[in-house]
Chains A and B, each alone.
Chain A
Amino acid sequence: MDFRNEHGSSLTIVLIFSVFALITTSTYLISQWTIARPGLLAPSSFQALLNARSGIWKAMELMNAPPVDTLAHINTLNANFNDSLFGKQSKNLNDSVALPPDDTTDVSLFSTDSFGTCKALFTYMPCFKSITSNGFFRSQSKTVSATLGGILHDSPDTVCFLGNKLPPEGGGIIDGKVAMLQDSNSLPPPSAGKAVPVVIPEMRITDLVKAVSYFKAKFSSTNDSLFQNTVLTIQDNDKLSSIKDIVNGPLLLDGSHHDLFWKEKRRVMIMGDLQITGTVTVENIEFLVSGEVKLFDDCVFKNVSIFCSKTLTITDKSVFSGNAVSLTQISINKRARIDNKSVLVAYTESKPAQLLQPAQGQQIPQQSQAGQQIKLLCSVFLTQDVRCDGTIIAYGDPSGIKTDRNVIVRGSLWSSSMICNEGAIYGFIRCKELISATELDARQKVPPAPASGKNFMTGSVRRLETIADYPYPFFMGKPSIIRWEDGM
């Protein structure tokens, strides 16, 4: 046996075992680090989320802050004068600077900068305001969206808010209290021992006009630079992605041959009419339409926002949920359904009398004939077995609401003038006067019949326990965040 071959063999074994042990231990360390990393990043991620949430509150404060009079604050003798000319591009908002829409803004959050930053974007939806806030902390970022609306009604007991004290005639059912409309500003302060009268907050018309001006400005800026194209017809799901953010003409979604399903979170501006026919499902889209909007044939709109300059028609068993503003008229008929606590607003400006030409689904007043000159007093029509779960608001001239028999509304009808109610309402109605269909026809003629001065209703209004859960537009009631979407 030759022992010389064993020289230094133990060193080799030590080296091999050492390397093996080091590799094993390093693997253990790496695996521990990999497992621990998400947990160790949790505080950064959570602080980024808190920054995003804080940005929502800060942006809301900035939105409500009065604008600064810049001229009054210019001081050419100040050493910092003209600094912004060469400074950073993004604006840093600290105090009392109104937040402009569609403009991402750096928001200073806390008393110290070490907890990260935030960028906020505010935009109008037709009935609501939306704030999207991006919070940043170290390498983490989080996005939070908030929808701002209003809360209007606290108690379900009062079902009728009327402009005068006269009890309604006509045999209608009022299952609840009737209150007179009162201006909340003119009320005396509540004193001890006296009950506070029920007050329904009125519309903040300035806010509504601001939102309408914002959308009109969108149309006019697009109109200047574009030529109208022919109708863009989409009959295939593959072609839905080809619809651009601005459509230079009417858009027709035709689901009569193939079912169409369009789910996307985006804003589409249509410089013309929007018509939906056939089996079409649209989800999460915001439509700005310079013409009319017509929903036909079992189409389904889920969580959709619509701003249209002309008439909004929802008919033929179509289903709508979301929010919508029409600057002319809203016509819901033929077994159409409004779902999911939706909000629909008709805001109209004064129009002269016109020759009677009934629109799709709109009834000719009983005592009127085609060709006769009339001045419409209603801007919202709910007819022919409509089911509505939501809030219908009519403001301007005309601003009446007309509901037919076999119409059921859960929620509320809010009119700045009159309501002709023949249907069943669960919730409340608010108007200056309740009138009958006969009187409505007579007063729409030219020259109009004089107002009777009475309240008249053949339909019913009953209390709804969940009425406080119904959201209202941001320009009515107590401003509130009605929806949070955290941590995207």
Chain B
Amino acid sequence: MACDMKHFPTQTGMTILESLIAILILGITTTAITSLIVTGDMIAGRRTTVYAATTLAKSEIERLRAYEKALVLPKDTIYDEIVNGIEYEVKRTWVPNDTISMNSSVLHREYSISVGRKINQSVSVNFRTLQGYYGEPTQ
């Protein structure tokens, strides 16, 4: 029995220190992996939102260009659009610009186009453009 006791002590398994270090490394790694996955998903989500918002802004700009051909000055507008189940708010406003001279046959106006998610406004894109008109456009 004494002989058995002699061979029993701490020769197998991990020490407490080893276990603690392993748990610590596992914890750090898990946290890092989780945050990387979350960041990756956020990038993908942001890309989807920004891309959809830019596409909506492009459509709005084309609508603005169509007004030029009809010689009509468009009024400010705000409307909602749904892309892939997400609701976006499109806003177009005329920005009065004092530096634009009116002593020319070409008249142009400055417009601001802002597109963002309807619920989470933190993701939004803003554009600025000039739209020209020949002759006298009507309101």
List the interface of chain A (C-beta within 8 A of B): 3-4, 6-8, 10-11, 14-15, 18, 21-22, 25-26, 28-29, 32-33, 35-36, 39-40, 42-43, 46-47, 50, 53-54, 56-58, 60-61, 64-66, 94-96, 108-112, 115, 478-480
- Taking the nearest CB of chain A, how far is it from the CB of B123, in angstroms? 11
A40:B101 contact, CB within 8 angstroms:
no
**Chain A residues, Cβ within 8 Å of B44:** 32, 35-36
Partner of B37, one of A25, A53, A479: A25
Contact string, B22-33, partner A, CB cutoff 8 A, digits 1/0?
100110110011
B108 touches A35 (CB 8 A): no
Contact B128 A14 (CB under 8 A): no
Most chain-A Cβ atoms within 10 A of its Cβ — which of B28, B40, B132? B40
Residues on A with C-beta less than 8 A from B99 are 94-95, 108, 111
A-chain residues with CB within 8 Å of residue B50 when the two chains form the complex: 39-40, 42-43
Q: Give the Cβ gap from A102 to chain B, nearest Cβ, in Å.
A: 21
Residues of A within 8 A of B127 (CB): 43, 46-47, 50, 115
The reply to whether A18 and B18 contact each other, CB–CB distance below 8 Å, is no
Contact A478-B97, Cβ < 8 Å, known A4-B11, A6-B12, A25-B33: no
Query: Contact: A22 with B134, CB < 8 Å?
Result: no
A14-B25, A28-B37 as given contacts; A64 in contact with B12, CB under 8 Å: no
CB-CB under 8 A for A61 and B101, given A10-B22, A18-B26, A53-B129: yes
Q: Can you sample 17 A-B contacts with CB below 8 Å?
A: A8-B14, A10-B14, A10-B18, A18-B28, A21-B33, A22-B29, A25-B33, A28-B36, A32-B41, A43-B125, A43-B127, A47-B128, A54-B129, A57-B131, A64-B104, A96-B103, A478-B134
Closest 9 CB pairs of A and B: A57-B132, A36-B47, A54-B130, A18-B29, A39-B47, A32-B40, A3-B12, A115-B128, A39-B51
Judge whether A64 and B106 touch: CB under 8 Å: yes
B contact residues around A480 at 8 Å (CB):
134
- CB contacts (< 8 Å) of B41 on chain A: these are 32
Interface flags, B116-133, vs A, CB<8A=1, else 0:
000000000101111110
Contact partners of B58 in chain A: CB under 8 A: 46
B90 within 8 Å of A (CB atoms): no
B29, A50: Cβ atoms under 8 Å? no
B57 touches A46 (CB 8 A): yes
Q: In this assembly, does B110 line the interface, its C-beta being within 8 Å of a C-beta of chain A? A: yes
Contacts of A50 in B (CB 8 A): 61, 127-129
Which of A46, A60, A61 is packed against the most chain B CB atoms within 10 Å? A61
Contact check, A11 vs B21: say whether CB atoms are below 8 A apart.
yes
Q: Which of A95, A111, A478 has the most CB of B within 10 A?
A: A111
Q: B residues touching A (Cβ–Cβ < 8 Å)? A: 11-12, 14, 18, 21-22, 25-26, 28-29, 32-33, 36-37, 39-41, 43-44, 46-48, 50-51, 53-54, 57-58, 61, 95, 97-101, 103-106, 108, 110, 125, 127-132, 134-135
| CA A76 to CA B86, docked complex, whole Å | 61
Q: Are A28 and B40 in contact (CB under 8 A)?
A: yes
Other than the given A10-B18, A61-B132, A65-B104, 17 more pairs (CB < 8 A) read A8-B18, A11-B25, A21-B33, A22-B33, A25-B37, A29-B36, A29-B39, A32-B40, A32-B41, A43-B127, A46-B58, A50-B129, A54-B130, A57-B131, A64-B106, A95-B99, A479-B134
Interface centre among A4, A26, A29 (most CB of B within 10 A): A29
A45 (CB) vs chain B CBs: closest residue:
B54
Across the interface, do B106 and A14 meet the contact criterion of CB distance under 8 Å?
no
Residue in A closest to B125 when the chains form the complex, CB atoms: A43
Cβ–Cβ contact A3 & B54, under 8 A: no
In the bound complex, residues from chain B placing their C-beta under 8 Å from that of A47 are 127-128
Contacts of B61 in A (CB 8 A): 50
Cα distance A28–B33 in the bound complex, in angstroms: 10
For A46, give its contact among B29, B33, B54, B135 (CB under 8 Å).
B54
Alpha-carbon distance between A478 and B135 when the two chains are bound, in angstroms: 9
Q: Are B128 and A110 in contact (CB under 8 A)?
A: yes
Contact between B29 and A21, CB atoms less than 8 A apart: yes
Tell me, rounded to whole Å, the shortest Cβ–Cβ distance linking B52 to chain A: 9
A110-B36 in contact (CB<8A): no
- For B48, list chain A residues within 8 Å (CB): 39
